[in-house]
Amino acid sequence: MSRSWNALSLRVLAGEPLGRADALNILSAPDDELLALVDAAFSVRQVFFGRDVNLHVLCNAKSGACGEDCAFCSQSAVATSDISRYPMKRVEEIVAGAREAHRLGAVKYCTVISGRSPSARDMETICEALRRIKAEMKMHLCVSVGLLTDRLAAELKEAGADRINHNLETSRRFFPRICTTHRYEDRVETVVRAKAAGLEICCGGLVGMGETEEDRVDLALALRELGVHSIPVNFLDPRAGTPLAGLSRLSPRDCLRTLVMFRMTNPATDIRAAGGREANLGALQVLALYVANSIFTQGYLTTPGQGYPEDLAMIESAGFRVGRIEA
Ligand code: SF4
């Protein structure tokens, strides 16, 4: 049976876009074939990314008090989670975070704010931070600030943003089950606007929210259709105080199958084993590196990760290396 996964990777490498049936087969592959599946994905990953693991560092520049109702999010209007809530950080704090990310060898520093879309004051702070970081160090800059107009996207680009993050989160069909204060289409429109402004697109989603395997495949195919540059695959680590608090985590094997499906449907795209990596993949975490080519290090928006030293040890122990920005 492993030969069929190998055949699938050869088809993908030959440029055949993976169809829905093949994508669903990956998600329902038996545990006995898990290593063969990972091996097939690794052969694709290696062609496009070698053994590099790109490190991304997040800066949660404004936390909590969001008016939206995303069911998974501890910063939402409906969450009662015990998190740190604070207004916009000062420019100096955001720049200091970039210096630390640069010191760790991160290729991307992503400044994130909670909320539906940025206020004029938010934009002032973020754009000033972008300008100062760009002038001081060589690092790709990403921002995740919510829904964008054409003008906001152009301002971010002008200030030095290389990329925006704006996740679709899940399929069009399942989206109304996790958010009612904005629409899936609003998210797609922001992605399209940012792309038109010349920004790279980081756009992915979250699995383990009660969606079906079809929903996961729909998300992967929608992202391929949008031509995104980077796909963060987040795994729900249910947060106390959110509407999804009662859900169980996915199994580590399901997380790996999901990553393989994203790799095979979007072979040349940066795929990130993103939020919830440590909590969901557990002892199988290192196997994610054979499929995904990037991770967040130094934690997430409201939760800590295992930490940079452990991430580095994991990368090196498996014979991978930290990716660097091209000179
Ligand atoms: S818009 Fe962003 S910060 Fe607000 S609830 Fe949704 S995911 Fe959380």
Residue 179 CA: nearest ligand 1 atom is 6
Residues in the chain, pLDDT under 70: 1-3, 326-327
Which residue from 58, 62, 63, 68 has its CB within 8 A of the most atoms of ligand 1, so it is best to mutate?
A: 68
Give the residue, by CA position, lying nearest to ligand 1 atom 3.
114
pLDDT for res 299 = 73
Residue 134 CA to ligand 1 center (angstroms) comes to 27
Alpha-helix residue ranges (DSSP H) falling in the chain: 2-13, 20-27, 34-49, 91-103, 120-136, 150-159, 175-178, 184-196, 213-226, 252-265, 277-281, 308-317
pLDDT per position as a tens digit, 29-68: 999 999 999 999 999 999 999 999 999 998 999 988 888 8
Q: What is the pLDDT of residue 326?
A: 65
Identify whether the C-beta of residue 288 lies closer than 8 Å to the C-beta of residue 272: no
Count of helix runs (H) and strand runs (E) in the chain: 12, 10
Q: What is the pLDDT of residue 84?
A: 83
69 CA from centroid of ligand 1 (Å): 7
The answer to whether the pTM exceeds 0.85 is yes
Share of the chain above pLDDT 70, in %: 98
Residue of 327, 320, 322, 326 whose CA lies nearest to 46 = 320
Candidate from 76, 86, 119, 209 with most ligand 1 atoms within 8 A of CB, to mutate: 76
The best mutation among 86, 114, 164 to test binding of ligand 1, ranked by most ligand atoms within 8 Å of the C-beta, falls on 114
Ligand 1 centroid distance, CA of 6 (Å) = 39
The C-alpha atoms of residue 104 and residue 57 are separated, in whole angstroms, by 9
What is the distance in A from the centroid of ligand 1 to the CA of 25? 32
Question: What pLDDT, on the 0 to 100 scale, is given for residue 302?
Answer: 72
Between the CA of 172 and the centroid of ligand 1 the distance, in Å, is 17
Structural domains in the chain, CATH included, are: 2-6+17-322 (3.20.20.70)
Q: Supply the pLDDT for residue 3.
A: 64
